[in-house]
Amino acid sequence: MINAQLTLLLEIQDLKAKLKELRAGSDLGALERETFGIDLDEAASQLETRVEELEGQLSEPIRRRYERIAGHLDRVVVPVIAGTCYGCFVSIPTATAGEEDPNASLQTCEHCGRFLYILR
């Protein structure tokens, strides 16, 4: 069972990554755009609206931390693999210690402050 706030953060992060791609125009060429009549500005504003909606569903303390991280870091959620935070590469064995499902509660890295998604 993944924490609902963690799920939200992962969705926001994914939509923001997609938004960045759209703005960079990296995944659609001019030909495809013309052929399918895709309006990238329209698509981008749809994504922006969804991101704002999801951000609005974050609880107050989590949104505050999220905004602090999102202001200066590309990723707000990073995986922890074998006890290492993949945001700052500091070992945080306590993140996985003891809990049956470590993603059931929202955890943050004490070193870089990012939200953690734990893989074992």
**Per CB under 5 A, which region of 2-10, 55-63, 64-72, 104-112 contacts Zn ion?**
104-112
Nearer to Zn ion, 50 or 75 (CB): 75
The Cβ-side half-sphere exposure at 51, using a 13 Å CA radius, reads 18
Helix (H, G, I), strand (E, B) or coil at 53: helix
111 binds Zn ion (CB under 5 A): yes
- CA atoms 49, 53, 54, 59: torsion sign: positive
**Per CB under 5 A, which region of 25-33, 44-52, 54-62, 87-95 contacts Zn ion?**
87-95
**Joined tokens for residue 71:** 């202001």
**Per CB under 5 A, which region of 5-13, 31-39, 55-63, 111-119 contacts Zn ion?**
111-119
Query: Residue 27 and residue 82: Cα distance in Å, rounded?
Result: 33
With tokens 């006890």, the residue in question is 83
Nearer to Zn ion, 12 or 76 (CB): 76
28 binds Zn ion (CB under 5 A): no
- Looking at residue 94, the DSSP 8-state letter turns out to be G
| Residue numbers at the binding site for Zn ion (CB under 5 A) | 85, 87-88, 109, 111-112
